[in-house]
Amino acid sequence: MLTLSPEVRDDAVTLQVQAWLRKTSLRMTVARMAVVQVLACAGAPVDAASVQRALLANGGDASLATVYRILKELEQHALVEREWHHTALGTHSCYQIRSGPERKRNCYFECDVCGRRRKVAEPALANQLVAAAGHEGYSPLQELIVISRCSACIK
């Protein structure tokens, strides 16, 4: 059984996520709150395996399948955000707590050949793209996707 330390239970982010969970159909289980605490303490996007390792290091017993299921549920209810990180070893999902229950407007480059999608890493560029869309009369509701061709497909 996962146990939560008292000092983390009172964390502002955890309390905020508890309030969001109350507004959804998700129950506030110990496993969900433990995953939320790991994400809150991480401060940066982390993958599911890292979440599970942190849970095991803190005396938890959640399997990797359970961590993936909880992350998927939290993502479906817009409580966490998934990003795709591309490395030399491949592509993997990383998760972080959303800054609010509303959807964030993210900007992506998407290859028109292979469909590979990469998040715009520079916040200033992402803000400029959203501003340019607004100037042209578009209001991106969730995502702004720039269709282009990746370096692998150009060759």
SS3 sequence of 6-52: HHHHCCHHHHHHHHHHHHCCCCCCHHHHHHHHHHHHHCCCECHHHHH
pLDDT of 66 strictly over 90: yes
pTM for this model (two decimals): 0.60
Which pLDDT score is estimated for 133?
82
Q: Which residues pair with 118 in a beta bridge?
A: 109
Cβ-contact 61, 2 below 8 angstroms: yes
pLDDT of 100 strictly over 70: no
Instruction: From 11, 49, 50, 55, select the one nearest 32 (Cα to Cα).
Output: 55
Q: pLDDT band at 4, cuts 50/70/90?
A: very low
Which pLDDT score is estimated for 99?
65
Summarize the confidence of residues 113-140 as an average pLDDT: 81
Summarize the confidence of residues 102-120 as an average pLDDT: 79
- What confidence tens digit (pLDDT) does each residue in 72-93 have? 998 888 788 888 777 777 788 8
Which pLDDT score is estimated for 56?
92
Helices (H) and strands (E) in the chain, counts: 7, 5
Which pLDDT score is estimated for 6?
42
Instruction: From 16, 88, 10, 8, select the one nearest 41 (Cα to Cα).
Output: 8
Summarize the confidence of residues 131-154 as an average pLDDT: 83
Whole-angstrom distance, CA of residue 58 vs CA of residue 124: 37
Average pLDDT, the chain: 80
pLDDT of 5 strictly over 60: no
The radius of gyration computed from the CA coordinates of the chain, to the nearest angstrom, equals 18
- What confidence tens digit (pLDDT) does each residue in 43-55 have? 788 999 999 999 9
